[in-house]
Amino acid sequence: MDLTLRGKNAVVTGGGSNIGRSIVLTLAEEGANVAVFDVDEETANNVIREAREAGSTGELSVQRTDVTDADQVGHSVRRVIEELGQIHVLINGVGWDQTSPFIGQPAEFHERVVSINYMGPVNLMRAVVPHMVENGYGRVVSLGSDAGRAGEYHEAVYAGAKAGVIALSKSLAKEVGRQNVTFNVVCPGLTIAEPESAGRISMWSQEALEYWTPERRHSAARRYALKRLGTPQDVANVVVFLASDRCNFVTGQVWSVSGGYTMM
């Protein structure tokens, strides 16, 4: 199926590792021009190199961007618009958390979780959505989490931030739908990075990866209807589909890509 993305211009935050990496590679495979916003330039550049080696002919670039810094976000967005002329697709892919009990977590940790997982998408939308409205076209897909739909053990503040992304996306879908700008959210289940795609400063540290032994992965998979854990490509497939014009009558929706972990 032609997803109509050839020649479209996309911004992907957190595109250097794990799910974001697969989204970038899939967009590039579909012929899109992709700007990767990431604080880890080395990892992001590796993804760009991988996309080119796979045969991508689109314009691919990296903008070192901390999504929690509104000024940096604005600068990077303006630069992409100058270089490509228009942003058609925004993928809010950045996410971060460390699981632990809510009681005892310091305020600084809570602020960081909210800053990355909620204010990051807010900053990107504030910079990009007016441009999309002006041009009468836009596709915004944000990564949520099933934790944001149903709550999750030891992820209270993260779940709250992701729930905020869902409500933000639904509200904007109603606000600017008449300008042909759509907003959808994709909620992955547990998606463990492979070592080569984890990124140096990803939440998937070496310690986190070592925790998820084959035995623990097997135990976790038993909670999923499909009896397996998801892969980054499983998530990327749905994200890129929602970013395409094959979904031009879909907005304000939340898609769980979690093998039936939640059903709602």
> Each residue of 50-101: pLDDT tens digit?
999 999 999 999 999 999 999 999 999 999 999 999 999 999 999 999 999 9
Q: Which pLDDT band, with edges at 50, 70 and 90, does 196 fall under?
A: low
- Whether pLDDT at 197 is above 90: no
Which domains, from first to last, does the chain contain?
A: 9-203+231-257 (3.40.50.720)
Does pTM top 0.85 for this prediction?
Answer: yes
Choose, from 158, 211, 224, 261, the residue flagged as catalytic: 158
Q: Measuring CA to CA, which residue among 5, 65, 71, 55 is closest to residue 35?
A: 65
**Rounded distance, CA 16 to CA 22, Å?**
9
The pLDDT value given to residue 263: 87
Tokens representing 43 are: 């990892």
- The answer to whether 261 is a known catalytic residue is no
Do 178 and 261 meet the contact criterion of CB atoms below 8 Å apart?
A: no
Which residue type sits at 183? Answer: F
DSSP classification of residue 193: P
- Whether pLDDT at 203 is above 80: no
**Rounded distance, CA 16 to CA 159, Å?**
23
* 259-264: average pLDDT: 88
- Whether pLDDT at 204 is above 70: no
